[in-house]
Amino acid sequence: MEIEAAVFRKVLEPLSIERVEIDAPSEREVLVRTVATGVCHSDLHFVDGLGRFPLDRPYVLGHEGAGVVEAVGSAVTSVKAGDHVVACLSGFCGNCEECLSGHPNLCTGGIVTRPESAKPRLSQKGEPFRQFIGISSYAEKMLLHENSLVRIDPEIPLDRAALVGCGVLTGVGAALRSSGLKPGETVAVFGCGGVGLSIVQGARIGGARAIIGVDKFESKREMALRLGATHFVNSSEEEPVKAVRALTGGKGVDHAFEAIGDAKVCRQAIESLAIRGTATIVGVLPPDATIEFPWMAIRPECRVHDARMGGNRFRTDIPLYLDFYRQGRLDLDAMVTKRGRLSDINEAFRAMKAGEVARTVLTFE
Ligand SMILES: [Zn+2]
Ligand SMILES: [Zn+2]
């Protein structure tokens, strides 16, 4: 079947809207009609040539998708046609050591894509395309393994639900699952984009005493404060480590989160910690990045760790976070700062680079 998709062919070049062939679902695969997709930083990273995947074939990018199931393979048991679903790049096999020890976000089973030797899920006139992390949501339809999907309440608007598939899951989960945040502790969030603002919200839901948003764009101040930050530091005007220390009576914060993927900012997060504080690196750094800091900058018994996809068990976490949304505790409406159609994808990347948006959501109907 032919669908419309945004195709990536070359680093630093705009995506082009093209007709692409999508295969029928095999045994455990699900064909989903895409209703909405968030535009996440990882896609832009990839376009900018900072991805970790081979560039040997054209890609259909996008991984923050939500939609309605159209068809399922013969062995699919978790969803059926008509179900509303959210895709997640933490597709899990259910059999590997990580899955079985309760960390399916770190699955090593490699089930999300078809094997190289199999017919590709996406192609064009016989030329095989690569699917992005088993999802490819910048397209009218997605073909995925059933373990890359979760069924959600059909009453929840899919354009809001899509965000929980990556950015919100990563941010809220970093605060509630990965960091070990306890009620009453203090938090600084370095980087107030889609993920950083989700960390702010997660810290608020988790009962943080103070939440300091840090960003180099003044335009992020209002949004950070609206979503739960108690303070905001403009790091292009103030030295952020000093500012965070000043706001905490010199102590530093119990939890610092890095949500940009910048080695210098990681250092700032580490240097902002209080005694026994924890720095959680959420941003994706370039593969060769080195985080350097003087030993004396480390307060006693601090910890630095990285968090992957909010430590999620997305089959239960996505419905949980959507419950928070329904109850008014997680604000997804404010996170959608811009809307568009698939053809607006390149403009969405530009707006993200310029720090103009928390999230752009593209819709298909
Ligand atoms: Zn993402
Ligand atoms: Zn696994």
Q: pLDDT tens digits, residue range 63-83? A: 999 999 999 999 999 999 999
Tokens of 318: 């996505």
Write down the pLDDT at residue 332. Answer: 97
- Indicate whether 51 pLDDT > 80: no
Distance from residue 334's CA to the centre of ligand 2 (Å):
34
C-alpha to C-alpha distance for 63 and 54, rounded to whole angstroms: 17
Write down the pLDDT at residue 11. Answer: 92
Which whole number is the average pLDDT over 3-10?
Answer: 96
Q: Which ligand is nearest to the CA of 41?
A: 1
Residue the block writes with tokens 């239960």: 316
Q: Which ligand is nearest to the CA of 103?
A: 2
Q: Which ligand is nearest to the CA of 109?
A: 2
Q: Which ligand is nearest to the CA of 163?
A: 1
Which whole number is the average pLDDT over 267-286?
Answer: 96
Do residues 20 and 124 touch, judged by C-beta distance below 8 A? yes
Distance from residue 223's CA to the centre of ligand 2 (Å):
37
Distance from residue 330's CA to the centre of ligand 1 (Å):
18
Give percent above pLDDT 70 in the chain: 100
DSSP 299-311: PTT-EEEE-SGGG
Q: Is the pTM of this model over 0.75?
A: yes
Distance from residue 29's CA to the centre of ligand 1 (Å):
22
- 357: pLDDT confidence band, cut at 50, 70 and 90? confident
Which whole number is the average pLDDT over 186-196?
Answer: 96
Distance from residue 261's CA to the centre of ligand 1 (Å):
13
Q: pLDDT tens digits, residue range 230-242? A: 999 999 999 999 9
Give percent above pLDDT 90 in the chain: 89
Q: Which ligand is nearest to the CA of 166?
A: 1
Write down the pLDDT at residue 107. Answer: 97
C-alpha to C-alpha distance for 254 and 303, rounded to whole angstroms: 10
Q: How many CB atoms lie within 10 A of CB 190?
A: 30
Query: Considering only the top CATH level, what class is 2-165+334-363?
Result: alpha beta
Q: Which residues make up the CATH 3.40.50.720 domain(s) of the chain?
A: 171-308
Distance from residue 170's CA to the centre of ligand 2 (Å):
19
- Indicate whether 320 pLDDT > 80: yes
C-alpha to C-alpha distance for 250 and 243, rounded to whole angstroms: 9
Write down the pLDDT at residue 173. Answer: 98
Distance from residue 120's CA to the centre of ligand 1 (Å):
23
Q: Which ligand is nearest to the CA of 352?
A: 1
Distance from residue 134's CA to the centre of ligand 2 (Å):
15
- Indicate whether 50 pLDDT > 90: no
Distance from residue 8's CA to the centre of ligand 1 (Å):
16
Q: Which residues make up the CATH 3.90.180.10 domain(s) of the chain?
A: 2-165+334-363
C-alpha to C-alpha distance for 261 and 244, rounded to whole angstroms: 19
Pairwise pLDDT comparison (53 vs 194), residue with the higher score: 194
User: Is CATH 3.40.50.1000 the right assignment for the domain spanning 171-308?
Assistant: no
* 92 contacts: CB under 8 Å, gap ≥ 6: 99, 104, 105, 107, 109, 111, 147
- 344: pLDDT confidence band, cut at 50, 70 and 90? very high
Write down the pLDDT at residue 22. Answer: 98
- 125: pLDDT confidence band, cut at 50, 70 and 90? very high
- Indicate whether 49 pLDDT > 90: no
Write down the pLDDT at residue 104. Answer: 97
- Indicate whether 14 pLDDT > 80: yes
Write down the pLDDT at residue 324. Answer: 98
The 3-state DSSP class for residue 288 equals coil
Q: Which ligand is nearest to the CA of 110?
A: 2
Distance from residue 313's CA to the centre of ligand 2 (Å):
12
Distance from residue 277's CA to the centre of ligand 1 (Å):
27
Distance from residue 309's CA to the centre of ligand 1 (Å):
9
Write down the pLDDT at residue 355. Answer: 81
Q: pLDDT tens digits, residue range 155-166? A: 999 999 999 999
Q: Which ligand is nearest to the CA of 61?
A: 1
Which whole number is the average pLDDT over 124-133?
Answer: 95
Distance from residue 106's CA to the centre of ligand 2 (Å):
7
- Indicate whether 52 pLDDT > 80: no
- Indicate whether 358 pLDDT > 90: no
Distance from residue 295's CA to the centre of ligand 1 (Å):
33
Distance from residue 146's CA to the centre of ligand 2 (Å):
14
Distance from residue 303's CA to the centre of ligand 2 (Å):
27
Distance from residue 33's CA to the centre of ligand 2 (Å):
26
